Every structure is written in structure tokens, then in C-alpha cells.
């Protein structure tokens, strides 16, 4: 039976509740009175339930869809402004003991080039990322108790944080590793990670077990309850996500929001981020073999409906998506994107050959970080390399309260401009530098607190003189 405060996977992700929700949405997809009431609620910026959101997702009334897109834009602007947080993935190892049928890392793939980075190789990768200008990484590794034990992950995190190269420093390491124990989550928290990210892949239990036929990831319950254990281990910033294309998108959408509701109801804070990857081609993986793929139109509506439903949650889109697609969804709710990404182990120091044999998936957006930053500036966004909230202890409910109070304009906004200034001074091309300076000059005037504005302007001048790492 459905119970969002239960810590049992079968109860907070209840199959019958999802099926009832989908039936309810189908019956009410043209119910204007109900839809208007849902939109009125959404306009208050307090979010929607999974059932309300699924009605909007199912609705095919053209005028309503226009309202949904506009509302998503308005909510994005209200809570996140025009800031876009930049990050890059760092793959440590592609050894894996699981049999996931959609991932080239699966243990039966005998021709993929397997590699595990040494600590010295990690240092070299980190310096390459720092030379681009990155300050925030998402650490990735396959599940393998021999090649990627928790001790290796912890040592790698320590290595990453201790690499100081020219003006470069990685200030936040988010971690995307397999579901683990409360004890191991406590170790990750003590190591100073930012967000713990784990994609559910699919919330449909039967499909999940078929898609993960062998290995520890086969255990649906253990995997689905991982965020509860992470919270219990002291990690209050967690990131959810599904891999769209594995199951029916409506089912995944409802399950994803139910998971978010569960975290909010049980721990007082919802997911820090939600990722929306779509399945892509990779070595020995043909995305066309999966019949639940979604087109760009449906994908965009999913992003818009998620933004309306969880207005306080950051939304992530990776280089899986094309420049055109990323540009569209940036307006509808996405607040974090990757740039200059490599999805192979060691790919920043030694780029992959054309065969892509060790990449986890094909990258659609192959632009450099500077090209992505320039593009964002041209679109009127503020590329942000900020990690201040994590480093100042503003995580979990403390970050959410800041966001909900509207004070983010006097904290995250000046921090974003300060870190953009660092990037411009240290890494940007001449054209990007000119665009960025103009954006900073305009955006600094939006800070509403006079003392904060004065201090931010002072920090910007100090950066020009060679000083670094200011934050509110």
C-alpha cells in the first residue's frame, strides 16, 4: 500500500499507485476545471503532487501546454534566475560486475577497453579539467568490489581535493557510485562530498530486474532504498534520476516524483538535483533496441513539468543531449549542465579514438568548455562555477530554506558572478572574456542588498588583481 513516509521501496514507490495515477491522468487530461486548479496551485511556487503533475504531463490541450511552458520558465527565473551551474564528469574506472543490458560497462562485454585510473593518473585528469576552468566534478565509476572498493573512491576524492594547479582547484566533488551501506555513506560524507547521485534507471520493478539480470544491482529494493541510507549516513544532498527510454516515460515520471515526495516527507528535504538522461548509443549498445525512447517534444514537456512540480530542485542535463535540445530545455527548468565532457576513463588527458570503445555513452555535444560558456553568455545566461553553499555548510534543508526565502539573489547570484570572473580571468578566450565582462556589469546591479553588492564589486576588483576564491 502506498505510503510516502515509509522507508520500504514497495510502499513509497507503489506500483498500484503509479498505475492509478496514470489512469487518473488519462481520464482528466482534458478536464479544464481540474487543470486550471492545478495550474493555479503551481503558480504559487509550492510544487505539485505526482498525481497533479501527471495530469499536466498527459494533457494535450495546446493552450494549456503553452501555459505549462511559460510557467516553467517563470518558476526557473524566480528560483534560479539565469544562472547555469557548470560541471564535468570524471570517470575513475569502467570495471563492473553488473549485467545491465543498456550499459557497455556490463561484465559480459569482453571487447571494451577496461581501465582503472591510478592516483597519479587521477591527478593528471584533474589538472586537465582545471586547465579548462572546471571547479565542480561528478565522480563516476563502475561497480566492482575489487577494482573500485569504497577505499579507492575515498582515496580518489582526497586526491582530487588536494590537486592545486596554477589557479585551479576542484572545490566540490559530487559522487555517482553504486548503492552502498549506511557506513559507507557516512565515510563519503566525512570525505566532504557534495551531492550523492544515483540514477534509479527505472522505477518499474519487473522491468528493473530484467534490465539488471545479474550482479548486485539486480536487487531493486536495495537500490531504490539507497537514498534513505545516504540520508541516514549524513548525506543531505542527494540527486535522483531515471534513464528515459527503458520504460514508459509516464510511469518513470510518476515514480520519480513519488521518490522526491518520499524524501521530502521523511527527511524534510527533497532531492538536491534531478537528472533527465535519455538512453544513447554506446559500444555494443544500440539505443534503437529499446522501444520506449522519447522524442525532443516529449522530453521538453517532461522537463517543464518537473520544474513546475519540484521548483526548489536543481535539474541537470548532460552532453548526451545536442546543443539544440539543451538550449530549449535550459529555458524550461534546467539549472546545471556539463561542458567539455569525456565519458571514457582517462579521456581528458588522452582523448578517445574514433571507435569510442571505452566511453559509457556517445556524447552529442562535443564543444569545449569555453565554447559552452560563450554560448551560454550569448543566450543571456550566467555560467556559474560556484561551490559556496556546499563549502559554507548550506546543504540540505539549509539550502532549501535559502532558496524558498528568495534570498538566493543576495547569495548565489553574486557568487556566480565572482566565479564567472575567475573563469574569465584565468581560462576564457578573448571573445568569451568580452561577453562575460558585459554580463557581469549588468547582472551585478540585480543584487538587492547594498552591502552585498558593494562587497561583490570589491571582490570582482580583487580578482582582477590576482586574488581568488571569494564567496558569500
Beta bridge partners of 362: none
Asked if 191 contacts 224 with a C-beta cutoff of 8 angstroms, the reply is no
Res 288: pLDDT = 82
Res 337: pLDDT = 96
Res 281: pLDDT = 78
- DSSP, res 108: T
β-pairing verdict for 83-93 and 168-169: unpaired
Contacts of 456 (CB under 8 A, 6+ apart): 414, 417, 418, 444, 447, 472
Contacts of 321 (CB under 8 A, 6+ apart): 278, 329, 364, 365
Res 354: pLDDT = 47
Please report, in angstroms and rounded to a whole number, the separation of the first and last CA atoms in the chain: 45
pTM value is 0.94
- DSSP, res 176: E
Determine the Cα–Cα distance for residues 294 and 248; give it in Å rounded to an integer: 9
Determine the Cα–Cα distance for residues 4 and 279; give it in Å rounded to an integer: 28
Helix (H, G, I), strand (E, B) or coil at 383: strand
Helix (H, G, I), strand (E, B) or coil at 168: strand
Output phi, psi for 90, to 5 deg: -130, 110
Nearest residue to 336 (alpha-carbon basis) of 376, 368, 308, 297: 376
Question: How far lies 374's CA from each of 169, 318, 434, in Å?
Answer: 22, 17, 10
Contacts of 209 (CB under 8 A, 6+ apart): 218, 220
Determine the Cα–Cα distance for residues 287 and 292; give it in Å rounded to an integer: 10
Res 418: pLDDT = 96
Consecutive H or E run containing 151: helix 150-161
Strand runs labelled E in 263-317: 273-275, 314-317
Sequential pLDDT tens for the chain (472 residues): 999 999 999 999 999 999 999 999 999 999 999 999 999 999 998 899 999 999 999 999 999 999 999 999 999 998 888 999 999 999 999 999 999 999 989 999 888 889 999 999 999 999 999 999 999 999 999 999 999 999 999 999 999 999 999 999 999 999 999 999 999 999 999 999 999 999 999 999 999 999 999 999 999 999 999 999 999 999 999 999 999 999 999 999 999 999 999 999 999 999 999 999 998 877 777 778 888 999 999 999 999 999 999 999 999 998 889 999 999 999 999 999 999 999 899 999 987 554 456 667 778 888 999 999 999 999 999 999 998 776 777 666 666 666 666 666 677 889 999 999 999 999 999 999 999 999 999 999 988 889 999 999 999 999 999 999 988 8
Question: How far lies 97's CA from each of 129, 144, 200, 338, 343, in Å?
Answer: 28, 5, 18, 27, 19
Categorise residue 210: left if φ over 0, alpha if ψ from -120 to 50, beta otherwise.
Answer: alpha
- DSSP, res 214: S
Amino acid at each position: 500500500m502506498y505510503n510516502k513516509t515509509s522507508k520500504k521501496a514497495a510502499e513509497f514507490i507503489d506500483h498500484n499507485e503509479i498505475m492509478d495515477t496514470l489512469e487518473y491522468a488519462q481520464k482528466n487530461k482534458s478536464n479544464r476545471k481540474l487543470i486550471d486548479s492545478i495550474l493555479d496551485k503551481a503558480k504559487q511556487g509550492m510544487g505539485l503532487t505526482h498525481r497533479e503533475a501527471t495530469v499536466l504531463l498527459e494533457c494535450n490541450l495546446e493552450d494549456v501546454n503553452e501555459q505549462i511552458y511559460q510557467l516553467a520558465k517563470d518558476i526557473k527565473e524566480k528560483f534560479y534566475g539565469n544562472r547555469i551551474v557548470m560541471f564535468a564528469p570524471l570517470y575513475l574506472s569502467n570495471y563492473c560486475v553488473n549485467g545491465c543490458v543498456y550499459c557497455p560497462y556490463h561484465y559480459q562485454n569482453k571487447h571494451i577497453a577496461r581501465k582503472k585510473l591510478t592516483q597519479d593518473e587521477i591527478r593528471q585528469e584533474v589538472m586537465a579539467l582545471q586547465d579548462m576552468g572546471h571547479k565542480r566534478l561528478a565522480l563516476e565509476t563502475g561497480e566492482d568490489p575489487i577494482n573500485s572498493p569504497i577505499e579507492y573512491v575515498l582515496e580518489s576524492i582526497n586526491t582530487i581535493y588536494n590537486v592545486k594547479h596554477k589557479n585551479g582547484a576542484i572545490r566540490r566533488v559530487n559522487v555517482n557510485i553504486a548503492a552502498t551501506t549506511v557506513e559507507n555513506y557516512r565515510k563519503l560524507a566525512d570525505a566532504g562530498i557534495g551531492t550523492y547521485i544515483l540514477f534509479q534507471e527505472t522505477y518499474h520493478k519487473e522491468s528493473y530486474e530484467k534490465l539488471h539480470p545479474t550482479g548486485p544491482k539486480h536487487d531493486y529494493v536495495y537500490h531504490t532504498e539507497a537514498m534513505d541510507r545516504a540520508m541516514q549516513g549524513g548525506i543531505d544532498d542527494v540527486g535522483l534520476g531515471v534513464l528515459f527510454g527503458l520504460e514508459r516515460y509516464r510511469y518513470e515520471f510518476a515514480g520519480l516524483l513519488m521518490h522526491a515526495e518520499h524524501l521530502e516527507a521523511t527527511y524534510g528535504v527533497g532531492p538536491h538535483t534531478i537528472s533527465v538522461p535519455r538512453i544513447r548509443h554506446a559500444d555494443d549498445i544500440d539505443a534503437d533496441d529499446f522501444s520506449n525512447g522519447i522524442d525532443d517534444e516529449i522530453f521538453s514537456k517532461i522537463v517543464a513539468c518537473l520544474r513546475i512540480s519540484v521548483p526548489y530542485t536543481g535539474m541537470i542535463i548532460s552532453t548526451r543531449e545536442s546543443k539544440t535540445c539543451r538550449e530549449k530545455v535550459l529555458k524550461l527548468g534546467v539549472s546545471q549542465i556539463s561542458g567539455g565532457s569525456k565519458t571514457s576513463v582517462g579521456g581528458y588527458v588522452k582523448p578517445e579514438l574514433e571507435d569510442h570503445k571505452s566511453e559509457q555513452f556517445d556524447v552529442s555535444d562535443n564543444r569545449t568548455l569555453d565554447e559552452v560558456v560563450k554560448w551560454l553568455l550569448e543566450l543571456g545566461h550566467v555560467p556559474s562555477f560556484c561551490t559556496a553553499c556546499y563549502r559554507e555548510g548550506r546543504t540540505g534543508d539549509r539550502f532549501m530554506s535559502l532558496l524558498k526565502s528568495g534570498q538566493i539573489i543576495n547569495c548565489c547570484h553574486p557568487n556566480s558572478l565572482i566565479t564567472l570572473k575567475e573563469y574569465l580571468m584565468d581560462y576564457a578566450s578573448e571573445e568569451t572574456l568580452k561577453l562575460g565582462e558585459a554580463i557581469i556589469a549588468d547582472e551585478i546591479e540585480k543584487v538587492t542588498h547594498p552591502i552585498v553588492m558593494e562587497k561583490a564589486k570589491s571582490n570582482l576588483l580583487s580578482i582582477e588583481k590576482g586574488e581568488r576564491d571569494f564567496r558569500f
